[in-house]
Chains A and B, each alone.
Chain A
Amino acid sequence: MTEVGRNVTKIDAFKLARGEPVFTDDVHPVGMLWAKVLGSPHAHARIVSVDATRALALPGVVDVAWHAQVKAIPHTRAGQSHPEPSPWDTVIMPEKARFIGDRVAVVVAEDLATAEKALGLIDVQYEVLPALTDMDEAHRRTDVLIHEVPDPRGIAEGGRSNVAARIDKQVGDVDAALKTCDHVVERTYWLPRVQASHIEPHVAISWLDEDGRLVVRTSTQVPFHLRRILARILEMKEADIRVIKPRVGGGFGDKQEMVMEDLVALMTLRTRRPVRLEFTRTEELICARVRHPQRIVMTTGVMNDGTIIANRMQVTADTGAYGSHALTVQGNTGQKVLPMYPCANIHFQVTCLYTNNPISGAFRGYGAPQGCFALECHIDEVAKVIGMDRLELRRKNHIRLGDTDPLSAKLGEGKEGLVRVIRSTGLEKAIELGCEAIGWGRKRPPSAPHLKRGLGMALAMQGSGIAGVDWGAATVKLNEDGSVNLAVGATDIGQGSDTVLAQICAQELGIRYEDVRVLSSDTDLTPFDVGAYASSTTYVSGGAVLKAARLVREQLAAMAAERWKCAVEEVRFGAGLVNAGPDRTMTVAELASHALYHVKVQPMATASHMSNESPPPFAAQFADVEVDPQTGEVFLRRFASAVDLGTPIHPDLAEGQIEGAVAQAIGYALFEEVIVDAGGRVRNPNFLDYKIASALDMPEMITILVPTQEPSGPFGAKAAGEVPIDGPAPAIVNAICDAVGVRAYRIPVTPERVWRQIKEAGE
Chain B
Amino acid sequence: MWDLKEYRIAGSAGEAVAMMRRGPGKGVYIAGGTDLFLFPPTCDYVVDINHAGLSDIVGSPDGDLFIGAATTLHDLATNPLVNRFAGGLLSEAAAHCGNRPVRSTATIGGNLCNALPSADLAPALLALDAVCYIADEDSQESLPLEDFFTGPRKTVLDGRLLVGIALSAEAAKRRALARRLTRSAEDIALVQVAVALEVIDGRVGAVRIALGSVAPVPMRAMLAEAQIEGELLSDLTPDRLADAGLIAASECDPIDDHRASAEYRREMVGVLTRRVLASALAWNPSDDKEGGAA
Binding site for B on A (CB under 8 A): 112-113, 116, 448, 450, 630-631, 633, 667, 670-671, 675, 683-684, 688-689, 691-694, 696-697, 750-752, 755-756
Contacts and interface: CB of A to CB of B under 8 A. Distances in A.
B186 interface: yes
Given A675-B258, A689-B259, A694 B183 contact: no
B223 interface: no
Contact of B185 (A113, A684, A697): A697
A233 B3 CA distance: 38
Contacts of B259: 689
Contacts of A684: 258
Interface in B181-197: 181, 183-188, 190
Contacts of A683: 258
Contacts of A675: 258
Contacts of A692: 184
B185 A694 contact: yes
Nearest to A750: B183
Given A116-B1, A689-B258, A696-B99, A755 B264 contact: yes
The secondary-structure label for the interface of chain A is loop
A683 B9 CA distance: 37
A296 B181 CA distance: 31
A674 to B, nearest CB: 10
B190 to A, nearest CB: 7
Nearest to A673: B258
B260 interface: yes
Nearest to A748: B183
A713 B278 CA distance: 61
Sort A-B residue pairs by CB-CB distance and give the 9 closest, nearest first. A696-B185, A691-B184, A671-B183, A752-B264, A697-B185, A683-B258, A671-B184, A675-B258, A630-B271
Nearest to B259: A689
A689 B188 CA distance: 8
Nearest to B185: A696
A4 B267 CA distance: 57
B249 interface: no
B200 interface: no
Given A113-B1, A448-B294, A688 B184 contact: no
A694 B294 contact: no
Contacts of A697: 184-186
Nearest to B271: A630
B140 interface: no
A756 B268 CA distance: 12
A363 B194 CA distance: 41
Contacts of A667: 184
Nearest to A447: B293
Interface in B259-281: 259-261, 264, 267-268, 271-272, 275
A691 B294 contact: no
Contacts of A696: 99, 185-186
Given A631-B271, A694-B99, A756-B264, 19 more contacts: A113-B1, A448-B294, A631-B181, A667-B184, A670-B183, A675-B258, A688-B38, A692-B184, A693-B184, A694-B184, A697-B184, A697-B185, A697-B186, A750-B183, A751-B181, A751-B260, A751-B264, A752-B260, A755-B264
A691 B1 contact: no
A631 B183 contact: no
A228 to B, nearest CB: 37
Contacts of A756: 264
A693 B186 CA distance: 8
B264 A691 contact: no
Contacts of A450: 275, 294
Given A631-B271, A633-B181, A756-B264, A694 B1 contact: no
Contacts of B275: 450
Contacts of B183: 670-671, 691, 750-751
A755 B266 CA distance: 13
A318 to B, nearest CB: 18
Contacts of A448: 293-294
A755 B261 CA distance: 12
User: What class of interface size applies to chain B in its complex with A?
Assistant: 20 to 34
Contacts of A691: 183-184, 186-187
Contacts of B271: 630-631
A116 B3 CA distance: 12
Interface in B74-97: none
Contacts of B267: 755
Nearest to B96: A696
Contacts of B272: 631
Interface string B274-294: 010000000000000000011
A688 B188 contact: yes
A670 B264 CA distance: 17
**Counting chain A CB atoms within 10 Å of each CB, which of B184, B190, B272 scores highest?**
B184
A343 B187 CA distance: 44
Contacts of A689: 258-259
A675 B99 CA distance: 25
10 contacts: A116-B1, A630-B271, A633-B181, A694-B99, A694-B186, A750-B260, A751-B260, A752-B264, A755-B267, A756-B264
**Counting chain B CB atoms within 10 Å of each CB, which of A750, A752, A755 scores highest?**
A752
Contacts of B260: 750-752
B198 to A, nearest CB: 26
Nearest to B186: A694
Nearest to A632: B264
Nearest to A689: B258
A448 B292 CA distance: 11
Given A670-B184, A694-B186, A696-B99, A631 B258 contact: no
A667 B186 CA distance: 12
A693 B187 CA distance: 10
B177 to A, nearest CB: 14
Contacts of A112: 1
Contacts of A688: 38, 188
Contact of A751 (B1, B38, B186, B190): B190
Contacts of B38: 688
A691 B260 CA distance: 13
Contacts of A752: 190, 260-261, 264
A114 to B, nearest CB: 10
Interface string B245-264: 00000000000001111001
A739 B78 CA distance: 37
B258 to A, nearest CB: 5
Contacts of A633: 181
Nearest to B272: A631
Contacts of A630: 271
Contacts of B261: 752
A710 B276 CA distance: 56
A759 B267 CA distance: 11
B187 to A, nearest CB: 5
B33 to A, nearest CB: 15
Contacts of A755: 264, 267
A693 B181 CA distance: 16
A112 B3 CA distance: 12
Interface in B18-72: 38
Contacts of B184: 667, 670-671, 691-694, 697
A692 B38 CA distance: 17
Nearest to B260: A752
B211 to A, nearest CB: 15
Contacts of B268: 631
A696 B267 CA distance: 26
Nearest to B264: A752
Contacts of A750: 183, 260
Contacts of B258: 675, 683-684, 689
Contacts of B1: 112-113, 116
A112 B183 CA distance: 35
A580 B172 CA distance: 84
A456 B258 CA distance: 28
Nearest to B293: A448
Contacts of B188: 688
Nearest to A755: B264
